[in-house]
Structure 1
Amino acid sequence: MNTQLRRKGKDYLEQAKQQIGPCLTVSLECDGGGKNSQVHRDRLRRAMNRMAKRSDGSAEIRRLFAELKTLIDTREMWSGEYSGVCIHISDGVTRFLKLPYPPVEKADLDDSFCLRPAADAIAALGDWLALNISLKSPRLYKFDGERARLLGEVDLPQSVYAFSEDGAVDSGQRAHVRRARGVDTPHLVGHGMKANKNQRELNEPVFMREVSHAIGELPESKELPMVVIGDTRVVSSFLDTYHHRGGEVFTVRNAESHPDAEAVASICRKVAWDNQQKRKSEVLRQIEEMRQRDGVFSNNVREVFEAAKQGRVSAAVVSCDEEIWCRMGKDEKPRSAQADEENAFEALDRIYLETMLKDGSAVVLPEDKIPGGKSVAAVFRW
C-alpha cells in the first residue's frame, strides 16, 4: 500500500513541528469560494478582532494579527474555487491553504498549530509533472500544488509532422530519427517502407519516442508523479512508448483540447485530491482489517500517543471535531489536562503529526466515522 506522505506535505508538517512560541490557526468554511470572497474575508476579520481582544496584546501577538490582516486585505489571494481555507501563522511562518472541503472552523492562538483542519489538503500537497500530449504542440508543465508552469526548457517536438524538411514522408520510406551534429530538429531518413500508411501514421512512432526521450532526460521525471492529459488514443499511444521513472502516472482523457496553464493546474489539483482520497480509503481499510487483532489495534488516546511518539503507529484515524488535552507526567506518560493548564497539548493533533512524520499514515474524520466509535483508532507496527 503506497500511502507515504509526499515531500511537500512532509515539509509543511516538519516546519509546523519546529515552531516555538505563539502559533495562530484559523480555519474557515468558504461556501462559494472566490465568488463570495468578500463575505469570507469579512467573517475572518471579525474573528480576528475577537481574538485580538482576548489576547495579551504583546508585540509578538500583534505581529501575528498584522500578518493575518495582510492576508485578509490581499483580495487576489481569495480568488478561485475552494470550499474552505486554513491559515497558519507564527514568527517567520505564514501558510494559506485553500481547501476543497469545508473544514471544522477554528480560531486558536496556542503554542503549536492545529493541523487537523488542513490534514487532507496537506496530504494532497506535492509537485507533479503534467504533460498535455497532442499530435500538434505538446506541452510539459510542472505543477507546484497551486499553479502550473510551462517547462519551456524541455525541447519537445512541435508536431507529429515536424520530422521531414518538406512536411511529408515519401511512400516507400520507413521513418526513423537521425540527429545531425549541431542540428536540434530531427529529420527522417529512408529505411524501406510500405506505401499503405499516411504521413501522420508514419511519423507518430518517432514523434512519441522523441517526446518520451525529452521527458526522460528531465531530472524531475525520476522523482515526481505525472499526469498525462489528452485524447484517449493519443494518450495510449504515448504510454506505449514511455516508462515513467518517477513512479505514478495518472491519465485524464476527457479534458478540453490544448488546455492553458490554469486549466492544467485545475486538472492536477483534482488528480492530487482524488489520489489522496484513495489513499485515505486504504488507511481506513487497513484499520478495519486489524481491529480484531490483539496487541495490534488500539483506540486508547494515551496508548496511541505514546506509540506515535515512538514511531510505532502504522496507520491512524483521529477525530476532526473533538479535542483531548493532555500533559506529560513525571513518569513521561500522558495525563489528562485542561486546555489552559501549563504545558498542556492537544493529543489528537499530536498523534496525527507524529504518525505522519514517522512514516505512518494518518487521516482525519468526524468521530462518528472512526472505527470503534472513539476519538482515535490506530494500528501498531509492533
Structure 2
Amino acid sequence: MDVLSSETVRELASAHGGIRVSLYMPTKRFSPDAVFENATRLKNLLKEARAELIARAVRPASADEMLKDVHALADDRQFWLGARDGLALFIDGGTRAFRLPVAFEESVYVGERFRVRPLLAAPRADQRFYVLSLSLKRPRLLLGGPDGLRELTVEEMPEGLQDALRWDDFEKRSLQFHTRTAAAPGGRRPAVFHGSGEPDPKEEIARYFRGIDRVLVEHLDERTPVVLAAVDYLVPLYREVSGLKTLASEAVTGSPDEMADTELHARALAIAERVFDREKRAALERVVEQWTSPKVVTDPLQLLEAASEHRVDTLFVATDAELWGAWRNGGPVPEVHPVQQPGDEDLLDVASVLTLRSNGAVHVLAADEMPHQEPAIAILRY
C-alpha cells in the first residue's frame, strides 16, 4: 500500500504519455457488509474503466491485462479490512493504491495524465506534527500524522514535576536555609534564618516547564508544528516560558493522562490541519489584496499558458469545476469544448498538474470558498 506524501503527488502529476487510469471511490470502513459493498463498487468502476480503454483503441486483452491487479485487489478481503473513507487508484504499467480518510466522489478518468486534483484534498504523510502531552505527573512527546500518534523517547526530559526539582532542596525545606557556624562564646547557638514559608507552586511549575522546554527547543526542528495538550490552567503557564517557535496557538485542553490516544490524535490533528492551512489562507489574502493586479489571473486559457511556462506560484481550483478541451500537438492555444468530447482532458486538471510539476502550490476549495466564485485563480510568479 502506497503512502501519500507531497512528493508522491508530484510524482503522479509528472507522469505523462501513454494511457493512464485514475479511479476514485468512497469506501466503507470495516463492518459486516463493507467488504462486499466496497468490492462490488470497485468492480463496477473497473467495467467502466475497461470500456473507456477500449473506446481509446486499447485492445480488450490489453485492457484486461492493465486492470488485472486491481481485479485481484477487489477480491482481496485483507485489503478491504483496512478500508478507510476513500480509495484512489492509479494504473499504468503498475498500480498504486491509497486508502485515505477522504470520501472521494466515484469517478473514472482515462487519459495521458493521472487525475490528481481530488487527491489534493487528502492529508499527506509528510504533514507531521508533534503533540506535547503535558501533566505534572508525566510529560510525553508524540509524533503525529494523518494516521495516528507515536510516542517518542526523549531521555533528557524530566519525568514529572518532582523529578525536575529533585536536585534542589526547594520543595523539601519550604524555602528554609540555615547557616551553621561554631558555637559563640558563652554557649550561644548561631543564628538560624528561615524563608518566607511554603514554596510558590506557580514558580515550581514554571521551573519544571522550563526544563521540558529547554530539551524540546534543543531537539525539535523549527518547521514542524507542536500542539500542546494540557489542563486549561497549565496552558498559559507553559506558553509564558516556552521558546518553541512552532507552538500552535490552539491547544488540546483537558487531562491528557485521562485521554485515550485516539481522542488526543483526533483533537490535535484538527489543530495541526488548521496550522497547515495557514499557507492557503495567506495565499487567499494575497488574491484579495492583489485582485486587480496582473499577477492574479482568472481567465482559464491565460492561466493554462502561465502554468505551461512555470509561472504559476499558487493555483486555486474549485472542487467541481471542469473545463473540457484538448491541447493537441503542443499547439499554442488549447481547444475548449462546452461538453466533454472523445480524447478531451479537463484543462483545469492539466493546469494543476503543470503547477505541481514546477513546484507551485495547488489548493482545492469548495465553489463557495473561491474568491468572486471563479472556477480557477492563479497567482503568478512574474
Relative to structure 1, the CA distance from residue 10 to residue 230 in structure 2 (aligned partners, 3 Å threshold; closer, same or farther) is: same
| Distance in structure 2 (CA, Å) of the matches to 1:238 and 1:353 | 43
Matched AA of 1:241: V
Q: String of CA shifts for 1:252-305, please: whole Å, max 9, x gaps.
A: 233453234333332233123334555544444433443333x33322222101
Aligned to 2:82: 77
Relative to structure 1, the CA distance from residue 330 to residue 263 in structure 2 (aligned partners, 3 Å threshold; closer, same or farther) is: closer
| Distance in structure 2 (CA, Å) of the matches to 1:26 and 1:53 | 12
Correspondence 1:249 to 2:254:
no
Percent identity of equivalent pairs: 16
Q: CA RMSD in A?
A: 3.6
User: Could you list the runs of 5+ residues in structure 1 that have no partner in the other structure?
Assistant: 1-7, 175-191
SS, match of residue 115 in structure 2: coil
Aligned to 1:47: 44
Correspondence 1:262 to 2:259:
no
Give how far 1:138 is off.
0.9
Correspondence 1:11 to 2:7:
yes
Correspondence 1:121 to 2:122:
yes
Relative to structure 1, the CA distance from residue 330 to residue 108 in structure 2 (aligned partners, 3 Å threshold; closer, same or farther) is: closer
| Distance in structure 2 (CA, Å) of the matches to 1:353 and 1:49 | 24
> For residues 29-68 of structure 1, what are the structure 2 equivalents within 5 Å?
29=26, 37-38=34-35, 41-51=38-48, 53-54=50-51, 55=53, 56-58=60-62, 61-66=66-71, 68=73
Aligned to 1:349: 349
| Distance in structure 2 (CA, Å) of the matches to 1:46 and 1:261 | 36
**131-140 or 56-65: which moved more?**
56-65
Correspondence 1:164 to 2:161:
no
Aligned to 2:153: 152
Aligned to 2:135: 134
> For residues 277-292 of structure 1, what are the structure 2 equivalents within 5 Å?
277=277, 279-292=279-292
Relative to structure 1, the CA distance from residue 213 to residue 271 in structure 2 (aligned partners, 3 Å threshold; closer, same or farther) is: same
Give how far 1:142 is off.
0.9
Count of residue pairs the alignment pairs up? 347
| Distance in structure 1 (CA, Å) of the matches to 2:82 and 2:120 | 21
SS, match of residue 217 in structure 1: helix
Aligned to 2:98: 96
Relative to structure 1, the CA distance from residue 278 to residue 324 in structure 2 (aligned partners, 3 Å threshold; closer, same or farther) is: farther
Aligned to 2:306: 307
| Distance in structure 2 (CA, Å) of the matches to 1:273 and 1:71 | 33
| Distance in structure 2 (CA, Å) of the matches to 1:60 and 1:22 | 13
Give how far 1:19 is off.
3.2
User: Could you list the runs of 5+ residues in structure 2 that have no partner in the other structure?
Assistant: 54-59, 178-193
TM-score (norm 1): 0.75
Aligned to 2:237: 237
Matched AA of 1:26: L
Give how far 1:140 is off.
0.5
| Distance in structure 2 (CA, Å) of the matches to 1:42 and 1:360 | 36
Which entry has the higher C-alpha Rg, 1 or 2?
A: 2
SS, match of residue 137 in structure 1: coil
| Distance in structure 2 (CA, Å) of the matches to 1:124 and 1:285 | 27
SS, match of residue 108 in structure 1: strand
Aligned to 1:326: 326
SS, match of residue 78 in structure 1: coil
| Distance in structure 2 (CA, Å) of the matches to 1:76 and 1:124 | 21
Give how far 1:330 is off.
4.8
Matched AA of 2:314: A
